[in-house]
Amino acid sequence: MKVAVAGAGAFGTALAISISATGPVTLWLRDAGEAEKLDTTRENARRLPGARLPDSITVSSDARALAEADVLLLAVPMQKLRGFLQDHRAQLAGRTLVACCKGIELETGQGPQDVIADVLPGSPLALLTGPGFARDIAIGLPTAMTLACADAPLGEVLQERLSSVTLRLYRSTDVTGAALGGALKNVVAIACGAAIGAGLGESARAALMTRGNAEMTRLAARRGADPATLSGLSGFGDLVLTCTSEQSRNYRLGLSLGQGDGFDPAVTVEGAATARAMDSAARAAGDDMPITAVVAALVENRLDVPQAMRHLLSRSLKEE
């Protein structure tokens, strides 16, 4: 089975390194100059400095490399996924597509699996998500993630090929639940970073994580997901990681909002657009998503952190 990773950002590079331990893999990136540099230096100095590319990784910017793969891991940011699929529709047709991004498309409210089905209907697809920082995966620290695939036999094949000695993949057939967990934990991480950045304390963070988890689970269940998925790696697991570590870009954006600092707009922070997309969808559907609503307001500068916290605390008292 020929495997390629599309997108040589931090995560795509880390996945290629991990998968190369058990077989050859192609790492595809769109920029020919960057591809040449990466191939020569064998280090992604821009996105994942310090991690060496093993010889079993072939670097390419040639779109034909996409067409040659049986399985393609899509490691581009959520808001760029549709454009990537449209640009390479011909090469991607017939391939098994594994979405590795976490988020909800701002314009449509769709998750990665829906965007793939929209652009390339009928493509066999899966989702790779869960708690794992690119750097940890790249240097071989122990990591467990979720491989979600509605087609159970295909899920088993992918789980077998994409797992390694240090990257342990658990299978699920609940693609909706896994996708929503991965998307929404980033929103809660922004809220937690904002609380810590504003000096509101660890108790506030614990409250946000717990009520955020309740919000994620409620929404996922309403959309047909198994609530148990949200207690697993792709939900609770990733929520814990992202809400407690400064390695997380979503958490760091929250910290900067709480501290009143600027944040580099070039950094990939999926939770910002996802909060806005989910807030609109929740309002339209009459769903109660208070943490998502305040994060959307924070990233749109409609509220500051003290106002956001006052808003959450002044809601009517209820049963847990």
Ligand X SMILES: NC(=O)C1=CN([C@@H]2O[C@H](COP(=O)(O)OP(=O)(O)OC[C@H]3O[C@@H](n4cnc5c(N)ncnc54)[C@H](OP(=O)(O)O)[C@@H]3O)[C@@H](O)[C@H]2O)C=CC1
Mark the binding-site residues for sn-glycerol 3-phosphate, compressed into ranges.
102, 130, 185, 238, 248-250
By the 8 A CB rule, do 277 and 219 touch? Answer: no
CA neighbor of 203 nearest in space, from 214, 192, 213: 192
Tell me: does residue 79 bind ligand 13P (CB under 6 A).
no
Task: Enter the DSSP assignment of 107.
Answer: T
Tell me: does residue 7 bind ligand X (CB under 6 A).
yes
For the chain, give the longest Cα–Cα distance. Answer: 60
Among 26, 248, 274, 292, binds ligand 13P (CB under 6 A): 248
Q: From ligand X, ligand 13P, none, which one binds at residue 78 (CB under 5 to 8 Å depending on kind)?
A: ligand X
Tell me: does residue 10 bind ligand X (CB under 6 A).
yes
Binding mask 37-76 for ligand X (x = CB under 6 A): ----------x---------------------------xx
Q: From ligand 13P, ligand X, none, which one binds at residue 103 (CB under 5 to 8 Å depending on kind)?
A: ligand X
Determine the interface stretch with ligand 13P among 152-160, 164-172, 241-249, 307-315 (rule: CB under 6 A).
241-249
Q: From ligand 13P, ligand X, none, which one binds at residue 241 (CB under 5 to 8 Å depending on kind)?
A: ligand 13P
Tell me: does residue 132 bind ligand X (CB under 6 A).
yes
CB of 184 to ligand 13P, least distance (A): 12
CB of 216 to ligand 13P, least distance (A): 14
By the 8 A CB rule, do 11 and 17 touch? Answer: no
Tell me: does residue 276 bind ligand 13P (CB under 6 A).
no
Among 3, 4, 5, 9, binds ligand X (CB under 6 A): 9
What is the distance in angstroms between the CA of the first residue and the CA of the last residue of the chain? Answer: 48
3-state secondary structure of 139: coil
Orientation of helix 175-197 relative to helix 290-299, angle to 10°? 60
Residue with Cβ nearer ligand X (88 or 309): 88
Q: From ligand X, ligand 13P, none, which one binds at residue 170 (CB under 5 to 8 Å depending on kind)?
A: none
CB of 18 to ligand X, least distance (A): 12
Strands 43-44 and 48-52: antiparallel
- The contacts of residue 5 (CB under 8 Å, 6+ apart) are 12, 13, 15, 16, 19, 25, 26, 27, 28, 72, 73, 75
- Binding-site size, ligand X (CB under 6 A): 26
214-220's contacts with Cβ under 8 Å and 24+ in sequence apart are 215/184, 215/188, 215/288, 215/289, 215/290, 215/291, 215/292, 216/180, 216/181, 216/184, 216/185, 216/188, 218/287, 218/288, 219/180, 219/184, 219/278, 219/282, 219/287, 219/289, 220/176, 220/177, 220/180, 220/181
Tell me: does residue 84 bind ligand X (CB under 6 A).
yes
Tell me: does residue 133 bind ligand 13P (CB under 6 A).
yes
Q: Is 226 left (phi over 0), alpha (psi -120 to 50) or beta?
A: beta
Residues within the interface to ligand X (CB under 6 A)? 7-12, 29-31, 47, 75-78, 80, 83-84, 100-103, 132-134, 268, 270
Which residues in this chain contact ligand 13P in the complex, by CB under 6 A? 102, 131-133, 186, 189, 238, 241-242, 248-250, 270
